[in-house]
Amino acid sequence: VAMAATRSVMRAVRVFEFGGPEVLKLQSDVLVPVPQENQVLIKVHACGVNPVETYIRSGTYARKPALPYTPGSDVAGVIESVGEHVTAFKKGDRVFTLETLSGGYAEYAVAAANRVFPLPDKLDFRQGAAIGVPYFTAYRALFQKGCAKAGESVLVHGASGGVGLAACQIARACGLKVLGTAGTEEGMNVILRNGAHQAFNHRDPNYTERIKACTGPGGVDIIIEMLSNVNLDADLQLLSHAGRVMVVGCRGRIEINPRDTMSKESSIIGVSLFLATEEERRECATAVLDGIEAGWLKPVVGLEYPLEKVAKAHEDIICSSGARGKMVLLL
């Protein structure tokens, strides 16, 4: 009698209830997913950790996955197998993803083939895990939603994290004047090495005055805002006429005076990569892959954690004093 092939198991992080970092459970007996048509199975070498994953895990985010689930979307690794109709990839290809279907905090992950991209040899897997969400989000914020143009100025608020550094690199490569803020001396140095013309310490009580002195009476054209619940009110004072604040991150409420937008006809625009159309995603992918090819897109990897320390990673990404690149889990 032919025995049914036994499916192999893997280590993966599972969330059975929403809550604090302690709800992230590492299990060693999770079934390896099987790629269906137009899907690929990736052996994960590294997975990026994004702030949004902590919001989803806590249950406070607009999107709630069905429980239990495995977090993580930014995976880099090697194609293990492909489903039917997949012609773009084969076993052994080095790749990175923008999102996974089965979750990235795991030894293997399934992704739709059209959300997977070749990882060039010049980048390692840690860097590959730092591309997807940060660079696509930064490109969307600057160009698809922010309508940035060469010659304009951009202030990246919280520029030393994954999205912030991506925004600095992209904006600099596209001819914008780039200002960035960070919370530490080290963070400011990282920003300056990655495209910012000037860096400011947002822990300095007078830092907004320094930014005003730098931009002159004209103000700044675009602000990429990672912590709008703290900075939005001050951002509106820094904008130029018809300037726009791109809300990329927020951790709570804030009070503003809408009159501040009237005096300059400025805009507050929300940014969500999840709402990008297929066409917009392709545009992001083209820009990002061109940037890698041209050499100006160089992902900066920050803190690295083994899968066992995933709860610590979730704690640190929200509570640490200052980011220095993209946080990754290593497998």
- The per-residue pLDDT for 3 is 53
- The per-residue pLDDT for 62 is 86
pLDDT in tens, 111-157: 999 999 999 999 999 999 999 999 999 999 999 999 999 999 999 99
Per the DSSP assignment, residues forming a β-bridge with 82 are 40
Average pLDDT over residues 205-232: 96
For residue 278, pLDDT over 60 is answered with: yes
* Alpha-carbon separation of residue 124 from 53, 78, 328 (angstroms): 23, 12, 12
* Domain residue spans of the chain: 7-129+298-328, 132-272
Question: For the chain, what percent of residues have pLDDT higher than 90?
Answer: 93
**Sheet of 198-201: strands edge to edge?**
198-201, 177-182, 153-157, 220-225, 239-247, 267-270
Write down the CATH superfamily of domain 7-129+298-328.
Medium-chain alcohol dehydrogenases, catalytic domain (3.90.180.10)
For residue 254, pLDDT over 60 is answered with: yes
Task: Give the CATH number of domain 132-272.
Answer: 3.40.50.720
- The per-residue pLDDT for 323 is 76
* Alpha-carbon separation of residue 42 from 11, 45, 84, 95, 301 (angstroms): 14, 9, 15, 8, 21
Amino acid at the residue 80? E
- The per-residue pLDDT for 6 is 64
- The per-residue pLDDT for 182 is 96
Strands 116-118 and 153-157, sheet pairing: unpaired
For residue 301, pLDDT over 60 is answered with: yes
pLDDT in tens, 150-205: 999 999 999 999 999 999 999 999 999 999 999 999 999 999 999 999 999 999 99
Give Cα 52 distance to the centre of its chain. 9
Average pLDDT over residues 10-33: 98
Query: CA-CA distance, 85 to 82, in Å (whole number)?
Result: 8
For residue 5, pLDDT over 80 is answered with: no
Strands 153-157 and 239-247, sheet pairing: unpaired
Q: How many CA atoms lie within 13 A of 29 on its CB side?
A: 0
